[in-house]
């Protein structure tokens, strides 16, 4: 839904998008492009959380001489920015494949003219691997990383508004005297942080989605700035908030699960390490 609302045409709002996708493509339409992100999500999340935590520990070591000391706000912000920067290297190709598979049968608009596939509804890509191979053949490595600039502008500040609110909310709702937050606190803090992060990242998410969807049939945008200007000139400021409801609603359960899995895994590994080395 997010991609269709941001880069597609003819969807008035979220409910209209749901009904249109279901009517035209049945339930299968809601799962287009899912396999590749699903297969890579574990690696992506591991890298992001690993880079964040290890960068934070390194900064604490440099600042206080103790990697386990409580990090200051500036250290959390820097660690979040590093995690956001690194995430683009993995996330851009994954998002591009997902968006191309989701948008390949959608009408495309340029200069007020609808351009459809040669055979209406006939997909350009047969699957994730075919999509990667086709993009590499036609556009090279630059094609695989199309939208990376917009993704940097989304993820670098986005992860600051992901990890920092999570840490703050965990501190607020964890009772005094507790060494670590309980699972319900982690779940709630992670969900709130995810909703904030995805909600505020929506404008650049729109630009990224449009850049990556662009190129299935023709290239409308020359780059990030050109996409921003064309989108604003054609549709006004409101275009940059397309899909914000879906992003915020999706962000809560998704990020709750990620933070809960991360924190419980850390506790389990620390417990095993303590038992092994008493």
Query: pLDDT tens digits for 182-229?
Result: 888 899 999 999 999 999 999 999 999 999 988 666 678 888 999 999
% of the chain residues with pLDDT over 70: 76
| pLDDT at res. 67 | 82
- The upper half-sphere exposure of residue 191, i.e. CA atoms within 13 Å in the direction of its Cβ, equals 12
String of DSSP letters for 139-189: HHHHHHTTTHHHHHHHHHHHHHHHHHHHHHHHHHHSPTT-SS--HHHHHHH
Lowest mean pLDDT across 21-30, 162-171, 212-221:
21-30
Write down the pLDDT at residue 274: 59
Considering the entire predicted model, what is its pTM? Answer: 0.81
CB atoms near residue 228 (< 10 Å): 21
Helices 73-103 and 183-213, packing angle to 10 deg: 50
| pLDDT value of position 1 | 63
Pairwise CA distance, residues 274 & 276, whole Å: 5
If one compares 275 and 144, the residue with the highest pLDDT of the two is 144
CA distance 22 to 26: 4
* pLDDT confidence of residue 118: 38
Q: What is the pLDDT of residues 85-125, one digit of tens each?
A: 999 999 999 989 888 887 776 554 443 334 444 344 456 77
Q: Has residue 139 got a pLDDT over 60?
A: yes
**5 closest CA partner among 201, 210, 194:** 210
Helix (H, G, I), strand (E, B) or coil at 125: coil
The angle subtended at Cα 274 by Cα 268 and Cα 278, nearest 5°, is 160
User: What kind of fold does domain 146-277 have according to CATH?
Assistant: Mitochondrial carrier fold (1.50.40)
* CA nearest neighbour of 252 among 172, 141, 165: 165
Mean pLDDT within 16-31: 70
Which residue ranges make up each domain of the chain?
33-145, 146-277
């Amino acid at each position: 839904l997010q991609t269709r609302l941001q880069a597609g045409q003819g969807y008035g709002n979220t409910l209209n998008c749901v009904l249109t996708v279901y009517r035209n493509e049945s339930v299968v339409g809601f799962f287009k492009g899912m396999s590749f992100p699903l297969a890579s999500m574990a690696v992506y999340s591991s890298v992001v959380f690993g880079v964040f935590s290890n960068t934070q520990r390194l900064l604490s070591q440099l600042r206080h001489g103790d990697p386990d000391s409580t990090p200051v706000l500036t250290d959390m912000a820097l660690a979040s920015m590093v995690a956001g920067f690194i995430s683009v290297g993995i996330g851009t190709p994954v998002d591009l494949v997902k968006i191309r598979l989701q948008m390949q049968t959608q009408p495309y608009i340029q200069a007020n003219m609808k351009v459809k596939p040669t055979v209406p509804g006939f997909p350009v890509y047969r699957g994730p691997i075919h999509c990667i191979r086709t993009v590499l053949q036609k556009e090279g490595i630059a094609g695989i990383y199309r939208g990376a600039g917009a993704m940097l502008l989304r993820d670098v500040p986005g992860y600051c508004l992901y990890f920092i609110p999570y840490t703050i909310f965990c501190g607020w709702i964890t009772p005094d005297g507790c060494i670590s937050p309980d699972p319900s606190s982690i779940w709630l803090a992670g969900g709130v942080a995810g909703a904030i992060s995805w909600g505020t990242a929506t404008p650049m998410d729109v630009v990224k989605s449009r850049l990556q969807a662009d190129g299935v049939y023709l290239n409308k945008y020359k780059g990030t700035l050109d996409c921003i200007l064309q989108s604003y000139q054609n549709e006004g400021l409101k275009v940059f908030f397309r899909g914000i409801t879906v992003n915020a609603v999706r962000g809560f359960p998704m990020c709750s699960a990620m933070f809960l899995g991360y924190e419980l895994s850390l506790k389990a590994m620390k417990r095993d390490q303590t038992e092994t080395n008493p």
